[in-house]
Every structure is written in C-alpha cells, then in structure tokens.
Structure 1
Amino acid sequence: MALFMDVHDRVEGLTADAVAGAHAKDLEVQGRYGVDYRQYWFDEGSGKVFCLVDAPDAEAAAQVHREAHGLVADQLVPVQEG
C-alpha cells in the first residue's frame, strides 16, 4: 500500500456537512478497491479539501472518489508519514 494526499483545489459550495457526506460515501465504496480513506481536512472559505488515503496505487484512490461522488482530486501526491 502507498500513502497519498489528494488535493481538491476548489469545491464549489463546500460545507462541513457536504465534505462529511462525501467522505462517508468514500468509506462505503473503498473496500472494493483495497483503499482506506483515513482522514480529511477542508477550508470552507477557499473550497480546498485534502484527503489522506492508503491505496494500492493512485488510480485506485481516484476511482473511489469517482464512483462515490464524482469529486476527483486535482492533485494526488505520494507522501510518507513523519
């Protein structure tokens, strides 16, 4: 498994409830792809969202978002825990 930080640069109409709902949908779908969306952070003012995800590869992580709610990340960056 690899660890990724995905970045959504501008989600229109972002609210705490909306991002929580999208995350819940990710959790429903992720098992089909061997993915674990671990945590997310967001800023309502800018519409930015960051998701920390364990996945076999970047495409599997993106596929979960695509299927769960359609909000595919603008960037998907491999990261290491410090």
Structure 2
Amino acid sequence: MPVFMDVHNVEGGVSASDVAAAHEADLATQGPHGVNYLKYWVDEEAGKIFCLVEAPDAEAANTVHRQAHGLVADEIYPISAQG
C-alpha cells in the first residue's frame, strides 16, 4: 500500500496533548477507509505536525482527518521506504 507523509501548519503553535487526541480520533476513524496512520511527530512551538500514513491514496488519508477532527493536511507527499 502507498505511504504518505502529511504536514499540518497550525498558526500560533499546537500542544502535544491536542495532537495526541487528534491522532486517537484518526485511529478510531481510519478502518472503513482502508487507511493506517502509523506515526506522527509534532513541533509544538512551530505549530507543525507530520503524519506517516498508509493509504490507498492521499485523498483517503485526508478524508480520515476531515471526518475524525476536521484538520486536513496542508501538504501531503508520497514517500517510498528505504531499506
């Protein structure tokens, strides 16, 4: 399955606890969409969130975000795993 890295930019910063709650909402929503959110990283001060996700396509990944909490990615990049 394709793997994507998405990027969220939250003006004014973001708290790690809010991101953790959003990630839990993604996990609860992802199944019917064939999506698997694997891991995320957050830079609280810069307001940056990065999500690593397996998904059939970028839109499926964003659909999960939209339904789970409404915070869709500002950018999403297909990536390939390196051995």
What TM-score does the superposition give when structure 2 sets the normalisation length? Answer: 0.94
Q: Which moved more, 1:70-79 or 1:7-16?
A: 7-16
The alpha carbon displacement at 1:16 in A equals: 1.1
> For residues 61 and 11 of structure 1, do their structure 2 counterparts lie closer, same or farther at Cα, with a shift above 3 Å needed?
farther
1:54 to 1:70, Cα distance in 2 relative to 1, 3 A: same
Letter in structure 1 aligned against 2:8: H
Which letter maps to 2:18?
Answer: A
Moved over 4 A (4+): none
Q: How many matched pairs?
A: 82
- Cα offset for 1:10? 2.2
Aligned to 1:35: 35
Match of 2:6 in 1: 6
- 5+ unaligned residues in a row in structure 2: which ranges? none
Offset of residue 9 of structure 1? 1.9
> Could you say what secondary structure the match of 1:76 adopts?
strand
Deviations 1:7-60 (A, max 9, x none): 002255511110000000000000010000000001000100000000001110
Q: Once superposed, what is the RMSD of the aligned Cα atoms?
A: 1.1
Compute the TM-score of the two structures, normalised by the length of structure 1.
Answer: 0.95
**Retained in 1: the 8 A contact 2:35–2:54?**
yes
Counterpart CA distance in 2 for 1:32 and 1:9 is 26
Q: More deviation in 54-63 or 4-13?
A: 4-13
